[in-house]
Chain A
Amino acid sequence: GEDVEQSLFLSVREGDSSVINCTYTDSSSTYLYWYKQEPGAGLQLLTYIFSNMDMKQDQRLTVLLNKKDKHLSLRIADTQTGDSAIYFCAERSDYKLSFGAGTTVTVRA
């Protein structure tokens, strides 16, 4: 959506870390989400962060939130070929999710 912006493409070497960035505009967002979409499949929730937190770690995933700058990032450690997909950032306000256009992550050997 127009209120959530992401870079369109990211290429990363297998084993390196990936960082996907997202900016949003709604300061009343309560939760922010990262979804993964593989070819031909629906969206799979990867992780989420509450707006009063600034970091959340879940195994290989680290989410950083800068609420002042309305900037969200997702770091994937030790990126694998199975991480190749489209990653969507989404913000939730007033029970509604607004999605970015998605970042296509390509993992090269």
Chain B
Amino acid sequence: EAGVAQSPRYKIIEKRQSVAFWCNPISGHATLYWYQQILGQGPKLLIQFQNNGVVDDSQLPKDRFSAERLKGVDSTLKIQPAKLEDSAVYLCASSYPRVAGHQETQYFGPGTRLLVL
């Protein structure tokens, strides 16, 4: 089974520029997550999709970050304009459709490493 795919793997940009990351979840996974992992910290959830609808974007800095999952499969995360503090690894994860009360494993992609200069 193919895992979660992400691209690019690395990106270096200057502050105030724009950047976009792409994620292709595991086939059949309805739920997709974007996390931000700052160096030395654990991943922090930015946004969660169920199919093409947003379930939770309470931690997404909406003044500069946006994400979409138009057809309920691939997703893109955009930062516009980027700040120095956005330097981090951006992880995408996916999981099977939720069943209330049941364990749900999130499978992670390799991440995109962003450096903002």
Contact = CB atoms under 8 A, between A and B. Distances in A.
Interface of A: 1, 4, 30-31, 35, 40-45, 48, 50, 88, 90, 92, 95-97, 99-102
Contacts of A95: 48, 55, 98, 104
Contact of A101 (B4, B42, B55, B104): B42
B108 A42 contact: yes
Contacts, number: 51
Interface residues on B, range: 20 to 34
Given A31-B103, A95-B98, A101-B40, A41 B110 contact: yes
Nearest to A1: B42
A44 B4 CA distance: 12
B45 A100 contact: no
Interface string B39-62: 011111100100000011000000
